[in-house]
Amino acid sequence: MVRHPLITLVVAVAITTTGCMTHTLRLQGVRQAFHRGDLPAAKRLLDEDAKTTSRDADLLALDRAMVALADGRPEEAERLLRRSRDRFDQLAQADAAETTWSALTDDTARAYFGEDHERVLLRGLLAVANLLQDGDDAEAYSLQMVEEQGRIVAEAARPDGTNPKATYGQVAFSPLLRGLLRESTHRDYDDAARHFAMVTAWQPDFRPGHEHLARARQGVHSKKGHGVVHLIALVGHGPVKVEAAEIPSTASLAIASGLLATANRTPLPPVVAPIVVPRVVVAPGNVAGVRATPRAMPSSPVATETITNVSQMAKSQCDAMLATTVARAIVRRSVKQAAVVGARETLGGAGSLPGVAVDLAGIAWQAGERADTRCWSLLPDTIQVARLELPAGDHEILLEPFDRAGRRIGRAVAIAATAADGRDTFVLVQSTDAGIVGTPLVARNDP
């Protein structure tokens, strides 16, 4: 029996890269349980998946954090999010061994350290989880959102001056939080106005941003004898990634040729067959927002408005990086083709029995390639906010998710919130087509 290291490599990798279920399919049950409001089932399924896919523990911790927030456990959510943030920062440093192995398999062999939008939003949800406790670190977390976005874009700059991430939009949720926190000091209105000006520049269609800016410029937090309840709503079904076939574009081929030249590999062979890549799918569902009605003021409901469209952010970033993603897949294909050709020639050439065996193994090798569909499964479609200025005292507020026609979805949930004179109270609610998921969280207020 003829043996050779190259043929052994081709066959071994072909076997190990065939038949794996994608992350999106694995987590489908978790999403379904969460979106119908069955938190115990979502938690159980996540725990089971973590036992079988320990290498994705940091990614699964993000979904576990969303379940913890919906279940009224912000301390646990912050701990899980912080751990994933720190691990992603470590894993973002390129690992040469993993890069080599992914060239022989596919992108699922690489350590997952989050998509760009996930790493930015992770810090935003850290700020929210912290606000629902003492709020001491909320401003620092929100600042990290802008810093991380800037770092991601800066590191994508290429020697030729191009940057595929230069089109990434800024996330207005960060300056909004920082503006609210600066305003609550009753001193730093200039800082608050500066942050609210960023909100209006980055998200001009966010109507409350202009109201926040005008109020800060007047140096007013709220009317005398009034406090403010800020409602943060995580609304709808967030984006997921699925496998899709892409025909290599001219831009992808050019990028791939550059990568191969940099790696001192052979010229790029003709590539016309479709390449399997991840694409973002947006399916927000029917829920459009959450209406908040103070029991004492039934004629004055306030509806949440979108400050950050998560699905749109994920899709636009995926589209911006598509040519590069396809190029990386082309490079993998060329590496595999070169390995197959080398092994075939070593073992007798085309038409020989060993050569045919190598060709068949090579076909299985390439056919077994999977797109990396790992993603933060329980992100919302949008992050929305509403501001209720209320007379100081205890209030009962009815929360009602509504659809795009303004009709209520599910049941109304009443919460008790205190509007302390001149102070802020933060409330978090998660809502899908099933209505409100879990229990709305009201920040502990210290009058």
Q: 353-401 pLDDT, tens per residue?
A: 555 454 444 444 455 567 889 999 999 999 999 999 999 999 999 999 9
Of 66-75, 150-159, 230-239, the least confident: 150-159
- Give the per-residue pLDDT at 212: 97
CB-based contacts of 183, cutoff 8 Å, min separation 6 = 189, 192, 212, 215, 216, 221
Query: Distance (Å, rounded) from C-alpha 175 to C-alpha 167?
Result: 19
Q: Is residue 110 part of a domain?
A: yes
Q: Is residue 447 part of a domain?
A: no
Enter the pTM of the model.
0.84
Q: How many domains does the chain have?
A: 1
Beta bridge partners of 397: 294, 415
Angle, helix 173-183 to helix 189-202, in steps of 10 degrees: 160
| Per-residue model confidence as pLDDT tens digits over 210-245 | 999 999 999 999 999 999 999 999 999 999 999 888
Q: Is residue 136 part of a domain?
A: yes
| Per-residue model confidence as pLDDT tens digits over 301-358 | 999 999 999 999 999 999 999 888 887 777 776 666 655 555 555 655 555 555 545 4
Query: Distance (Å, rounded) from C-alpha 4 to C-alpha 24?
Result: 37
* Residue 395 DSSP code: E
- What is the average per-residue pLDDT within 411-426? 94
Per-residue pLDDT band at 286 (split at 50, 70, 90): very high
Q: Where are the alpha helices (DSSP H) in 203-249?
A: 207-217
Structural domain span for residue 268: 5-442
Q: Is residue 33 pLDDT above 60, yes or no?
A: yes
- Give the per-residue pLDDT at 388: 97
- Give the per-residue pLDDT at 275: 77
Report the SS3 class of residue 68: helix
- What is the average per-residue pLDDT within 273-291? 88
